[in-house]
Amino acid sequence: MKKQLKKFAQFTALSSLLVLSACGGNQAAGDEDGESSGGVVKADIGVISYISGPGAAYGEAITNGLKLALEEINGKGEVKINLVVEDSAGKQDQALTAAQKLMNSENVTGIIGPTLSTEMNVVGPEADLNGVPIMGTSTTAEGIPQIGDYVFRNSLPEALAIPAAIDKAIKKYDAKKVAILYGNDDVFTKSGYDTMKKAAEEKGLEILTTETFQKGQSDYNAQLTKIKGLKPDLILASALYNEGAVIMDQARKMGIDVPFVGGNGFNSPEVINIAGDAANGLIVATPWYGEKEDDKVKEFVSKYEKEYGKKPDQFAAQAYDALYIMAEALKNAGEADRDALRDALAEVKGFNGILGEFSFDEEGDVVMDPTVLIIEGGAFKEFN
Amino acid sequence: MLIEQLINGITLGSIYAIVALGFTLVFGVLGIINMAHGEIFMFGAFIGVVVTSTFKGPLWLAFLAAVAVTAAMGYLLERFALRPLRNKQGVSHLAPLISTIGVSILLENLSHHIFGPGNHPFRASFAEISFQIGSITVYLVQIVIFVISVLLMYALSFWLGKTKAGKALRATAENLETASLLGVDVKRTITMTVIIASAMGGIAGILVGMAFNSVTPQMGLSIGLKGLAIIILGGMGNVKGAMAGGLILGLAETFVVVYGDSGYKDAIAFAAIIIILLIRPQGLFGQKISA
Amino acid sequence: MLAELINPYYLQVASFILINIILGVSIYITLSTGQLSLANAGFMGIGAYTSALLTLNFDLPIIVGIMAGTLLAGVFGILIGIPTLRLQGVYLAIVTLGFGEVIRVIFVNWESMTKGAVGLSGIPHMGRELLNTVKDLGFDPKVLGLQNNQFVFLAIFLILLAVTVSIIAFFRRQNRSRVGRAFAAIKLDEKAAESMGINITYYKVLAFAQGAMVAGFAGALFAHVLAYISPADFAYHRAVEILIFAVFGGSEVIWGPVFGALFLTVMPEVLRFISEYRYMIYGLIIIIMMAVRPQGLIDVNILNWVKLKTSKRRQKHGTSSQKSM
């Protein structure tokens, strides 16, 4: 451990020296020299991801996206990044120990992750206290970047996504009365519900009823029958795609044919796999749309498919852009220093990635326009 | 609307009852609460998914496969988690409970690894058959579930009360040693009980998969705990009590959603456990607990 | 020198081990009268939520919150303990299982108070609060050559260590007292114990309440070490995890669950690849232990053997090495 610390000290001293000399060189001799010798910033970036356990699929998509970005970034040679990946198994205490390891044993410059908002609630304050910039790529709950100055995210928060989806649905279907259905024992769906309720109230919708369900439940008939009797124009459902797909299936079987509006957790091609035709009429807002007519997006999709044999989802796409944002900030910071990286991250404006144009606001939260999608004829299509 | 909810409640209640029958059979004979019963039920559902969705097999084959697999699991459960504890000196009466908790944890996580964490749709054309009565849609599966639960209850009552094997079973339940002295093959009787109970769990699993089109590794824990509540409600080891308890819980859960707060749906079962055991430990329909 | 050795990562792991040890002790106490309580995750939740809510909403000092959480868990222990004592072993286990789940459902549904499944964040952190206090007093950890976060985690670790050692010491003492002998008699044979004039109701409630208090205490510590809690932290799986500490380590002597908690917390940390199979291994451990060694790895015989060894060594070297247990 001592050795590592020493190494790190040497490394930072060396790199800052190099940067200094580069600046000096710039002033004295001209830029050619400076670019080639001292412009490359080398940094260790830690990754905390949900690699084992029930949500391992999320962690896999995220690390895949990161690896793809890493290759490209290091290939370009403007910055050299080394990723140090740790598993959190989706648990707060394990995420915290992983973060401690990264911050104190591995001495990383910045951290990407963790995967879940619950984990970020625990890890964020610790990173902030230690002055390590941390960026979530999939943490969508309210209040994450507000934890502290060092906490960022590039994942589209529910607070942006859900109102966008509800807005478009209201306009299209002239909806006035809604029913809300949500999973009340899950952090993700509960916080999605809070946003949903707020959005519905702001838009002046009449909430006919609010029903809940729990993990491991497979029978939603009681709740759905009640909703059916109230005849809503729209059903707002804050559910993960696993439960959400089953809910839609049972609703359609019962004869409920109004559209569903879902949150981030509902947004997955898996809904179509599980529910089949019953999935038609699901409206979600997403930061990521793989069919977009955009060269960057097409290149990313084809590369990802070639490498991992499946289509990238939003988790892979957000992670991919996150590392690019980190790299951009590192380049601007000019050195592998935690404080410099934080300041550079806060400055990121108008970054153009595969998710579209991206900026951080003053708090480190996301400024971007989500795309609203609807499932029609068994596929996601842009919803207008 | 009320009639539709009534049908929902009875369907749910019938499923609970089938699960509880498996619980009650094992408890009645062995005095053991089999905490792994819910997970065996879940495996039955998964076998159904694998046969119908992965191998595109017919429904009857799915039933056969599920019964065969869960019966085998019942045998393994008895052989490795219960039998080693039976004739051991100084083993606390808590040992089988703890041991089956171990089996349940193992099975739940095993299915995570084998089948994946997600939800698996159960596609059977049989599940799509429905008919309209006025404005109400009734699915054939719902009727089948109710009929099967009633049949199983009567079959079990008859078997326990009238047949020789059933009498041996009851003798074993009364007193293990006496039964053995009277020429009952105790070992075989016990093994058979656990196997039959497990197979019933497998049948329930497939029925749930068909009725709700949803199979996940977590479903075992949730329904296992409910089944536990029902046998306490209906009286431990009481076959008709399990049926009644199942229907009561199913209806109660449905009507909490209709008239109350769906958030407390799950709490009913657990609150019932506490209240019944404190006020009427023998259950609503039980006479007395035999220790 | 010191500063480099104190790595918050190791201290963090050590802190979780200590909390788990306290949880292991909590189930051991009730087991020592032959009762199995599966409500310890629920009691842990009561302790955690009480302390977190008091410190969050009323700005009470952490220590007051922890004490209140512990006491409330104890009160619930008595309330649940008295009526359930009519029930025999298995029934008691089931009532406690149901109680734990009811507690969790209440945490989930009582949204105005607990924020439901989203959980409580921003709970005052034991170490950070302490850091602020000592800084206000004009003491800077840099004097000791410590970084702020090193100080924070060292403080947590030392507090937990002191607390854990005192809890173990207390119950070891109690075991050798009148109370401990009554517990043992009840565990061995309830009827015989009663006929010898032992007030079994009193002692069973005592054991139950003590277990609840210790679990509530561990929960309150957990809340102030992690600074975030949610109902999922106190679900069925936590109850089973606590049970495994006692099943694996042993429930005859207090060192059993202590060892169980220590080993089972360190194992997935050291062998990261195992952590994916953690619960499958837990399940197997339970089945195998129940069939082969129901008293757990560490029982009286092993303890006596160790004592023999150490006393021999003591004669040789003249120093005690009992800590190695």
What's the CATH fold of domain A159-286? Rossmann fold (3.40.50)
pLDDT, greater one: C2 or B131: B131
Main-chain phi, psi angles of A175, to 5 degrees: -80, 140
B213, A249: Cβ pair inside 8 Å? Answer: yes
B252 touches chain A (CB under 8 A): no
Listed residue (C132, C235, C275) closest to A216, CA to CA: C235
Residue C106 forms contact with B (CB below 8 Å): yes
Segments of chain A assigned E as strands: 41-49, 79-87, 110-112, 134-136, 151-153, 177-183, 206-213, 234-238, 260-262, 282-286, 351-353, 356-360, 366-367, 371-376, 379-382
Q: Which of C99, C287, C294 sits opposite B103 (nearest CB)?
A: C287
How far apart are the C-alpha atoms of A282 and A168, rounded to whole Å?
A: 12
For chain C, the domain total comes to 2
**Residues within 8 A of A (CB atoms), C 86-145 only:** 108-109, 116-119, 121-122, 125, 128
**Mapping DSSP to helix (H, G, I), strand (E, B) and coil, where does residue A80 land?**
strand
Closest chain C C-alpha to B278 CA, distance in angstroms: 6
Query: Do A216 and B119 make contact, defined as CB atoms within 8 angstroms?
Result: no
pLDDT at C315: 67
* pLDDT band, residue C17 (cuts 50/70/90): very high
Q: Could you tell me if C254 and C170 lie in one domain?
A: yes
Q: Name the band, by pLDDT with cuts 50, 70 and 90, for residue A39.
A: low
CB B173 within 8 A of CB B29: yes
A131 and C39 Cβ atoms separated by less than 8 Å: no
Q: Is the pLDDT of residue A57 over 90?
A: no
For residues A85-98, give the mean pLDDT: 85
From the list A2, A96, A143, the residue facing C226 with the nearest CB is A96
Strand, helix or coil at C53?
Answer: helix
- Chain C partners of A94 at a C-beta cutoff of 8 Å? 275
In this predicted structure, what is the pLDDT of residue A226?
A: 92
Q: Does C103 touch chain B (CB under 8 A)?
A: no
Instruction: State how far the Cα of B117 lies from the Cα of C263, in Å rounded to an integer.
Output: 28
Q: Which of residues 266-285 of C touch B (CB under 8 A)?
A: 277, 279-280, 282-285
Using a CB-CB cut-off of 8 Å, the residues of chain B touching C112 are none
B107 contacts in C (CB within 8 Å)? 283
Q: Judge if C94 and C137 occupy the same domain.
A: yes
Given CB atoms, is C23 within the 8 Å cutoff of chain A? no
> Is the Cβ pair B105, C283 closer than 8 Å?
yes
Give the residue carrying structure tokens 């222990």: C77
The answer on C179 and C33 residing in a single domain is yes
Contact A208, A238 (CB under 8 A): no
Measured over all CA atoms, what is the biggest interatomic distance in chain A, rounded to whole angstroms?
A: 79
- Same-domain pairing of C311 and C164: no
Size of interface A-B (CB pairs under 8 A): 95
Pick B108 or A2 by higher pLDDT: B108
Check whether C274 has a pLDDT greater than 80: no
Percent of chain C past pLDDT 90, that is, above it, reads 39
Chain B residue nearest residue C104, CA to CA:
B267
**Residues in chain C closer than 8 A to A5 (CB atoms):** 4
* Region C291-313 average pLDDT: 82
pLDDT at A17 over 60: no
B chain contacts of residue A217, beta-carbon cutoff 8 Å? 222
Chain C positions touching A185 (Cβ under 8 A) are: 108, 117, 231-232
Length of chain B in residues, anyone?
291
pLDDT reading at A282 higher than 70: yes
Helix (H) or strand (E) segment spanning residue B18: helix B2-30
Task: Give the per-residue pLDDT at A269.
Answer: 80
C113 and C166 both lie in a single domain:
yes
Query: Quick one: which of A370, A8, A378, A15 has its CA closest to A165?
Result: A370
Residue A9 pLDDT exceeds 70: no
d(CA A277, CA B58): 22
Q: Beta strand pairing status for A371-376 and A282-286?
A: antiparallel
Q: Which residue of C has its CA nearest to B102?
A: C283
Which member of A93, A103, A190 has the closest CB to residue C117?
A190
CB-based contact, A118 to chain C, within 8 Å: yes
Question: What is the share, in percent, of chain A residues with pLDDT greater than 70?
Answer: 89
Out of C93, C286, C294, closest to residue B91 by CB:
C294
Homologous superfamily, domain A40-156+294-367 = Response regulator (3.40.50.2300)
Of B12, B121, B139, the CB nearest to A274: B121
Q: Given an 8 Å threshold on Cβ–Cβ distance, is A54 in contact with B211?
A: no
Question: Does one domain contain both C46 and C119?
Answer: yes
- Note whether C52 and C108 are same-domain residues: yes
The whole-number average pLDDT for the span C22-36 is: 92
Give pLDDT tens digits for A112-132: 989 888 889 889 988 998 899
**Contact between chains at A219 and B211 (C-beta distance less than 8 A):** yes
Q: Average pLDDT of chain A?
A: 84
Label residue A255 left, alpha or beta by phi (over 0 means left) and psi (-120 to 50 means alpha): left
Which residues does residue A151 pair with via DSSP β-bridges, in sequence order? A134
A129: nearest CB among C9, C116, C149: C149
- As a whole number, the mean pLDDT across chain C is 86
Q: Does the beta-carbon distance from A253 to B137 stay under 8 Å?
A: yes
> Measured between beta carbons, which residues in chain A are less than 8 angstroms from residue B112?
54
- Of the pLDDT bands very low, low, confident and very high (cuts 50, 70, 90), residue A22 is very low
- Contact flag B105-C84 (C-beta cutoff 8 Å): no
**Distance to chain B for A309, nearest Cα, Å:** 18
Residue partners of B72: CB distance under 8 A and separation at least 6: none
Instruction: Give yes or no for B119 touching A (CB within 8 A).
Output: yes
Tell me what percent of the residues of chain A surpass a pLDDT of 90: 43
**Residue C300 touches partner B, C-beta closer than 8 Å:** no
> Mind listing the pLDDT tens digit of every residue in chain B (291 residues)?
788 899 999 999 999 999 999 988 888 878 888 999 999 999 999 999 999 888 888 889 999 999 999 999 999 999 999 888 887 766 677 888 889 999 999 999 899 888 877 778 887 777 778 888 877 778 888 898 999 999 998 988 888 888 888 888 878 877 777 888 887 788 888 898 899 999 999 999 998 888 888 888 888 888 888 888 888 888 777 888 889 999 999 999 999 988 888 888 888 888 888 888 777 777 777 654 433
Summarised one tens digit per residue, pLDDT across range C65-86 is: 999 999 999 999 998 888 877 7
Question: Are C146 and C139 a contacting pair, CB within 8 Å?
Answer: no
Contact C105 B266 (CB under 8 A): yes
Q: Which domain holds residue C62?
A: 2-292
pLDDT band at A235 (very low <50, low <70, confident <90, very high): very high
CA distance C66 to C47: 7
Give chains near A: 3+ CB pairs under 8 A. B, C
Q: A20 falls in which pLDDT band (50, 70, 90)?
A: very low
Residue of C nearest to B269 (CA): C98
